[in-house]
Amino acid sequence: ACASCKHQRKKCEETCELAPFFPASRYREFQNAHKLFGVSNIQKIINSVDPSQRKEAAESILIEGNIRSNDPVHGCLGVVRNLKSQIEYYEKELGAVNQQLPFFRDKEKQHQHHAAPRASRKQPLEFGSDEEEESVDVSSLKGKKI
């Protein structure tokens, strides 16, 4: 039996209009949709839709029933509002990142510009050159505990 016939406790016949859209495996989902719309309204909705779109309409009915079951106060509107606020948040985040991007690109160019002369140097530094780091006189440390 399809979910609709199972819910109505009747034998599901081959001519059942709802069987292709509401299989018995989706009985719990159909119950949620039934609470929201009622079987007769579900049939009216399915029949009023173009035959090529009936599968999508049935899926929409099941989704709406599940959402209303999970959030009886706000239902689909709550989901839409939540998604809209997420979109707005991420658009603001993207705008902030896009504003900072030129700054970091300029900083990267400056870093590459300053690093390029050292990287292109072919001769090693000589002992005693100006670019040598300061060294510590080891002889003054003899006998001292470190």
Say which residue, 120 or 87, is predicted with more confidence.
87
pLDDT confidence of residue 110: 87
Cα–Cα distance list, 101 to 8, 95, 96, 110 (Å): 61, 10, 9, 14
Task: Tally the domains of the chain.
Answer: 1
Instruction: Indicate whether 146 pLDDT > 80.
Output: no
Instruction: Indicate whether 101 pLDDT > 90.
Output: yes
Contacts of 32 (CB under 8 A, 6+ apart): 62, 65, 66, 68, 69
- Give the domain extent around 48: 3-73
Say which residue, 137 or 46, is predicted with more confidence.
46
pTM score: 0.61
Q: What's the CA gap between 74 and 82, in Å, rounded?
A: 11
Residue 95, in any domain of the structure: no
Burial profile 66-82: b = 16 or more Cβ within 10 angstroms, e = fewer: ebbbeeeeebeeeeeee
Over residues 82-100, the mean pLDDT reads 97
Over residues 73-84, the mean pLDDT reads 95
Residue 146, in any domain of the structure: no
Residue 87, in any domain of the structure: no
